[in-house]
Chain A
Amino acid sequence: MTQLSRRHAIAGIGALTAASTLKPRRAKAAEPVTVWWTQGFYQAENQAVIDAMAGWEKVSGTKVNLTIMNGPDLISKVIAAMQVGDVPDLIHAVTGDRFLVPRAAWDDKLIDLSDVIETQKDEFHQTALANSRFYNAALKQYSYYAVPIKCATLMEQTWRPMIEEAGFSDADIPKTQDAYFDFFQVVQDKLRSKGKRIYGLGYSMATKEADSGNLFHSFLVAYGGAGIVLPNGKLNIEDPAVRKAAVTALERLTTPYKKGYVPPGAINWGDVDNNNAFFARQIVMTPNATISIAVAQMEKPDQYYKQIITQGVPDGNDGKPVPSLVGVSPCLIPKGAKNVDGAKALLKAFIQPNNLNTYLKETRARFLPVTMSIIKNDPYWQDPSDPHRPIAVQAGLIKPTMPWWMTYNPAYSAVLSEQIWSQAEANITQKNMTPEQATEEASGRIKAIFERFQIA
Chain B
Amino acid sequence: MSVASRARLDRRLVDASVAMVSVVLIIWTIVPLYNMVRVALQEKEDVFSNSVFPTTVTWHSFETAFRESYWLLANFWGQMGTSFYIGVSVAFLTLAIGTLTSFTISRMKIRRGWMLTNAALLTYMIPMSFLAIPFYSIMGKYGLTDNPLSVIAVEVTFATPYAIFIFKQYGASIPQELDEAARIDGASPPQIFFRIYLPLMAPALVAIGTYALLLSWNEYLYAFLLLSSDGNITVPVGLGKFLNSDEAPWNYLMAAAIIYALPPMAIYYAFRRKMNSGLTMGGVKG
Asked if A17 CB lies within 8 Å of chain B CBs, one says no
| CB neighbours of B132 from chain A (8 A) | 80
Flag if B110 contacts A9 (CB, 8 Å): yes
Report B100-144 CB contacts with A as 1/0, cut-off 8 Å. 100010001110000000000000000000001100110011111
Which of B108, B137, B188 meets A6, CB within 8 Å?
B108
* A84 in contact with B133 given A8-B189, A42-B245, A296-B247 (CB within 8 Å): yes
Expressed in whole angstroms, the minimum distance between the Cβ of A286 and any Cβ of chain B is 12
Asked if B13 CB lies within 8 Å of chain A CBs, one says no
Expressed in whole angstroms, the minimum distance between the Cβ of B190 and any Cβ of chain A is 7
Expressed in whole angstroms, the minimum distance between the Cβ of A421 and any Cβ of chain B is 23
Flag if A9 contacts B104 (CB, 8 Å): yes
**Complex: A71 Cα to B241 Cα, angstroms:** 9
**Complex: A73 Cα to B104 Cα, angstroms:** 42
Flag if A4 contacts B189 (CB, 8 Å): yes
* A1 in contact with B225 given A9-B110, A41-B246, A84-B137 (CB within 8 Å): no
Q: Which of chain B's residues has its CB closest to A77's CB?
A: B225
Expressed in whole angstroms, the minimum distance between the Cβ of B106 and any Cβ of chain A is 12
Flag if A1 contacts B241 (CB, 8 Å): no
Expressed in whole angstroms, the minimum distance between the Cβ of B143 and any Cβ of chain A is 3
| CB neighbours of B109 from chain A (8 A) | 2
**Complex: A1 Cα to B186 Cα, angstroms:** 11
Flag if A84 contacts B140 (CB, 8 Å): yes
Asked if B51 CB lies within 8 Å of chain A CBs, one says no
**Complex: A373 Cα to B137 Cα, angstroms:** 44
Flag if B224 contacts A275 (CB, 8 Å): no
Flag if A67 contacts B228 (CB, 8 Å): yes
Flag if A1 contacts B183 (CB, 8 Å): yes
How many residues of A are in contact with the other chain, CB < 8 A?
A: 45
Flag if B248 contacts A280 (CB, 8 Å): yes
A residues 285-342 near B (Cβ < 8 Å) are: 292-293, 296
**Complex: A351 Cα to B136 Cα, angstroms:** 32
Asked if A276 CB lies within 8 Å of chain B CBs, one says yes
Report B199-210 CB contacts with A as 1/0, cut-off 8 Å. 000000000000
Asked if A39 CB lies within 8 Å of chain B CBs, one says yes
Flag if B247 contacts A42 (CB, 8 Å): yes
Expressed in whole angstroms, the minimum distance between the Cβ of B174 and any Cβ of chain A is 17
* A22 in contact with B142 given A36-B228, A42-B246, A67-B229 (CB within 8 Å): yes
**Complex: A1 Cα to B184 Cα, angstroms:** 11
Asked if A43 CB lies within 8 Å of chain B CBs, one says yes
Which of A46, A68, A85, A282 meets B48, CB within 8 Å?
A282
Asked if A69 CB lies within 8 Å of chain B CBs, one says yes
| CB neighbours of A270 from chain B (8 A) | 243
**Complex: A383 Cα to B228 Cα, angstroms:** 39
A residues 2-52 near B (Cβ < 8 Å) are: 2, 4-6, 8-9, 12, 22, 24-25, 36, 39, 41-43, 46
Asked if B263 CB lies within 8 Å of chain A CBs, one says no
Asked if A54 CB lies within 8 Å of chain B CBs, one says no
Q: Which of chain B's residues has its CB closest to A68's CB?
A: B230
Asked if A279 CB lies within 8 Å of chain B CBs, one says yes
Flag if A272 contacts B225 (CB, 8 Å): no
**Complex: A36 Cα to B230 Cα, angstroms:** 12
Report B61-102 CB contacts with A as 1/0, cut-off 8 Å. 000000000010000000000000000000000000000100
Asked if B198 CB lies within 8 Å of chain A CBs, one says no
Asked if A70 CB lies within 8 Å of chain B CBs, one says yes
Which of A8, A24, A77 meets B143, CB within 8 Å?
A24
B residues 28-48 near A (Cβ < 8 Å) are: 47-48
Flag if B225 contacts A80 (CB, 8 Å): yes
Asked if B157 CB lies within 8 Å of chain A CBs, one says no
Flag if A275 contacts B248 (CB, 8 Å): yes
Asked if A86 CB lies within 8 Å of chain B CBs, one says yes
Expressed in whole angstroms, the minimum distance between the Cβ of A14 and any Cβ of chain B is 14
Asked if A83 CB lies within 8 Å of chain B CBs, one says yes
Which of A5, A67, A70 meets B189, CB within 8 Å?
A5
**Complex: A16 Cα to B121 Cα, angstroms:** 22
Report B175-193 CB contacts with A as 1/0, cut-off 8 Å. 0000000010000111000
Flag if A39 contacts B246 (CB, 8 Å): no
| CB neighbours of A275 from chain B (8 A) | 246, 248
**Complex: A6 Cα to B105 Cα, angstroms:** 10
Q: Which of chain A's residues has its CB closest to B47's CB?
A: A280
Asked if A81 CB lies within 8 Å of chain B CBs, one says yes
Asked if B244 CB lies within 8 Å of chain A CBs, one says yes
| CB neighbours of A77 from chain B (8 A) | 224-225, 228
4 new A-B contacts at CB < 8 Å, known A25-B143, A72-B244, A275-B246: A2-B108, A271-B244, A282-B48, A296-B246
Q: List 17 A-B contacts (CB under 8 A).
A: A1-B189, A5-B104, A5-B108, A24-B141, A36-B228, A41-B244, A41-B245, A70-B241, A72-B244, A73-B224, A77-B228, A80-B133, A80-B225, A83-B137, A197-B50, A272-B244, A272-B248
